[in-house]
Structure 1
Amino acid sequence: MILMAAGTLAAGLLITAVLLFCFWSKCSSIKYLILSKSVRDDREKVEAFLKLHGNHTPKRFRYKDIKKMTQSFKSKLGQGGYGGVYKGNLPDNSAVAVKILNTSKSNGEEFLNEVASISRTSHVNIVSLIGFCFEGSKRALVYEYMPNGSLEKFISNGKSSSVQLGWHTLSEIALGIARGLEYLHRGCSIRILHFDIKPHNILLDEEFCPKISDFGLAKLCLGKESIISMQHMRGTPGYIAPEVFSRNFGGVSHKSDVYSYGMMILEMVGAKTNTQEEINNCSSEKYFPNWIYDRLELNADQMGLDDISNEVENQSTKKLLIVGLWCIQTHPSERPSMKGVLEMLEGNVESLKIPTRPFLESTIEPLDTISTT
């Protein structure tokens, strides 16, 4: 009896193990088929796009060409959300920046957005896309090389951008970025909304001429549509316009880029850095745009920022701050277009009015479909 019971138990365990193995194998096979289909669909979508656009797309490189121009990715320039950026050289020895896309973190949309958007542009303040690689799972974008890197390194690490760049250079960079954005919104063949304007995505050439880069989150707008539909939130926290994460504030449009530009301008002039100690001594609700309003209202002639040596620099800085405050107004209808921003930047500071303080309602109903990027 004991031997019979032991045999029955052993047989039961064996059958259970076989069934579990079969179930695991079936699940693995289904998972593999789903992933394989997703990869195939992704590749077919990209290839169809490239075939459709034909001669309008930049040069297509093979992956072995990418490895050769970067010397097997020897010199890394930086790391982004979707892969690393490496320095390389073309056969004519001209320098390039090669962005390698990590396919495990993207579904091909960022690749298509970048190629589709930049291939339609030609502007001194937009980075040039020289070519791309799409070979199996290997994807890369080849850009013109910007020797001074991104704007971020000049305004981070607790250092004032005005000290490193000089106020004249800072103003020229702000003006160049505005011209590039105005071109994207109105100047090229199709309206392009960037949705990720921030210092990290502003590159500087050898003469500190700014160029807007990284169009992975961009949207192309057909016709003259002003309000666009968007299922998922796009952008970087701190630069995202209120209407992007809650429709309570209005529709998503080119004014969302204006908001991001305004936040970046306020950061560029060093307001956040220079006021950090003062803000730390205040309530937690005190943030740097409020500090700017206080300065403008109490003493509009002297902003009290570091390294301003003359009245010309003081007036130029005051203009940047007022423009930045206009751009970050809570409701899109209260913000200027980028054309209006350019008119303010190129005009006289005395003609500019200080906008009302932006106010974010304490209760926000976010989108049900929000997914952070």
Structure 2
Amino acid sequence: MVVTVPVRGDVLMAASYNKSNFTSGGYGDVLKRGFELEWSCITEDGCHLCEASNGQCAYSQHREFLGCLCDGGKAGSPDCKRSRSKRKTAIIAGIVAGMLSLLFLCLVILKFFSASKDGLLPFKSKDEPRVESFLQKNGNLHPKRYTYADVKRMTKSFAMKLGQGGFGAVYRGNLHDGRQVAVKMLKDTKGDGEEFMNEVASISRTSHVNVVTLLEFCLQGSKRALIYEYMPNGSLERYAFNSNMNSGNSLSWDKLFDIAIGTARGVEYLHRGCNTRIVHFDIKPHNILLDQDFCPKISDFGLAKLCLNKESAISIAGARGTIGYIAPEVYSKQFGIISSKSDVYSYGMMVLEMVGARDRNTSGNSESSSQYFPQWIYEHLDDYCISASEINGEMTELVRKMIVVGLWCIQVIPTDRPTMTRVVEMLEGSTSNLELPPKVLLS
């Protein structure tokens, strides 16, 4: 590196006469006297920006400024701070893009599991807030709550299916204490969870020997389960109405009568015994469960309606129930108002079906099968009672009670039907004062 320093001319002239002695005169004296030196860091090529950012300036052989050398190597910018800022921005952008990609992948995985059969992490259903609000308001009523994982564990991943109903499948399970239970998995609903709330609200208010007991429930996203006491003999339909069963497996008349009167007591309890009156709207053989002693228990309150005790008429949106058991007024208002008498009609049809099914399973009576059974049995009451009971006076009285009570219950006009309290009285009383109703039947 060559540095040219300007000095005073008179001093340099004197030094030229004494070139031989550098220390005592000449150029040595010039240097000893000192000189002014000025350095300017301001350049036109931007090197000062590079050095200010802790970088080193890079030049070509012709002293042309090429760029700034930073820690990571040569940068195109004359400022290392700008280079670092660009690198930092690129790194942050890469991290954000990676996190968004990971989040999207997680959502895809969760959606896949939600759509699968078991749904490991079910998405929250749109009606869950309403159902949760209902459960909080009725916290003193509903039983213990389980998670969906608990339900899978107690049913061993739904290994044993007991049956299929209108609102879902029923599986066998075991609680941690060893008790057997029936787990009803409700289907994903289209509405606002009404049938789930109906079931929990209705059955949680009941305590009767002829009404099934709700032990626990599950509400997790779209997964809903109702956990009941286990009924070893299944439903009345499954046992008494199977056309493939031979006469040896059919229920006897006295057992059928016990089931009929037990069911009547259960329905009467729903209408009068609860603090809040309950109209079931789906009394049928499929919803009558039988325990180990064939004691009947009413189940499936998905269509039930809670009513004030003093209320007589009931307002419902559309017909509800099962074809063949639905009262005429539920179809059309021209028959009368909807009330607890609608359950009476369903009960009467069920009892008459019990009688007809017993007759077909044991004797194969084709005559009664070819005609509307209530109409046929009305016309052949005495002959049928004698033949069905095999001339057993006690059995004849039981069969007659069931038939006459059933015919009273299915009267077309609701006001012509008895209350369930009166039905129990007729079944428990004597047949001597039990008269046939008017022959006004809906075929």
TM-score interval, normalised by the smaller of the two chains: 0.7 to 0.9
The runs of 5 or more residues in structure 2 that have no matched partner are 1-123
Quote how far apart the aligned CAs of 1:196 are.
Answer: 0.2
Corresponding residue for residue 277 of structure 1? 366
Q: Separation in 2 of the partners of 1:245 and 1:132?
A: 33
- The corresponding residue for 1:221 is 307
Structure 2 residue aligned with 1:208: 294
| 1:60 match | 145
CA offsets 1:41-90 (integer angstroms, 9 cap, x no match): 41111000001011221100011110010000000000111211000000
| Equivalent residues of 1:201, 1:212 under 8 A apart | yes
User: For 1:161 and 1:307, how far apart are their aligned partners in 2?
Assistant: 14
Give the aligned partner of residue 79 of structure 1.
164
Greater Cα offset, 352-361 or 128-137: 352-361
Measured after TM superposition, the shift of residue 356 of structure 1 is 1.1
Q: 1:128 to 1:308 in 2, by over 3 A?
A: farther
- The number of aligned residues is 316
Equivalents in 2 of 1:266, 1:324: separation in Å?
6
- Matches of 1:302 and 1:217, distance apart in 2: 35
The answer on whether the counterparts of 1:97 and 1:145 sit within 8 Å (CA) in structure 2 is: yes
Counterpart position of 1:152: 237
Q: Could you tell me which residue of structure 1 aligns to residue 264 of structure 2?
A: 178
Instruction: Compute the displacement of 1:40 (Å).
Output: 5.2
Is the 2:356–2:373 contact (alpha carbons within 8 Å) kept by the matching residues of 1?
no
Q: How far off is 1:360 after superposition? A: 3.8
Residue 210 of structure 2, aligned match among 122, 125, 131: 125
Work out whether 1:348 is the aligned partner of 2:430. Answer: yes
- The residue aligned with 1:196 is 282
Q: 1:161 to 1:355 in 2, by over 3 A?
A: farther
**1:167, distance to aligned residue in structure 2 (A):** 1.0
Alpha-carbon shift at residue 280 of structure 1 (Å):
6.0
Distance 1:323 1:160 in 2: 27
Letter of the structure 2 residue corresponding to residue 277 of structure 1:
S
2:138 aligns to what SS in structure 1? helix
Distance in 1 separating the partners of 2:261 and 2:248: 15
Taking a change above 3 Å as real, the CA distance of residues 290 and 317 of structure 1, as seen in their structure-2 partners, is same
Q: Distance in 1 between matches of 2:401 and 2:248?
A: 14
Aligned residue number for residue 338 of structure 2: 252
The secondary structure found in structure 2 opposite 1:349 is coil
The more displaced of 217-226 and 263-272 is 263-272
User: Aligned with 1:126: secondary structure?
Assistant: coil
SS at match of 1:85: strand
Aligned counterpart, 1:294: 379
CA distance in 1, matches of 2:406, 2:285: 14
Higher relative contact order (CA 8 A, sep 6+): 1
Counting helix residues as a fraction of each chain, which structure ranks higher? 1
Q: For each residue in 1:232-268, what CA deviation from the matched residue of structure 2 results, as whole angstroms up to 9, or x when unmatched? A: 1100000000000011100000000000000000011
1:171-216: CA deviations, max 9, x gaps? 1110100000000000011100000000000000000000000000
Corresponding residue number in structure 1 for 2:348: 262
Aligned-pair distance for 1:168? Answer: 1.0
- Supply the AA of the counterpart residue of 2:133: A
> Which residue number in structure 1 is paired with residue 407 of structure 2?
325
- CA distance, structure 2, for counterparts of residue 237 and residue 127 of structure 1: 23
Alignment partners' CA distance in 2, 1:52 and 1:136: 19
Taking the aligned partners of 1:280 and 1:173, their CA distance within structure 2 comes to 23
Larger Cα-atom Rg: 2
Alpha-carbon distance, 1:276 to partner:
5.5
For the residues of structure 2 that align with 1:208 and 1:116, how far apart are their CA atoms? Answer: 26
Identity across matched positions, percent = 59
TM-score normalised per structure 1: 0.80
Once residues 323 and 246 of structure 1 are traced to their aligned partners in structure 2, the CA distance between those partners, rounded to angstroms, is 24
Q: Hey, what does 2:13 align to over in structure 1?
A: none
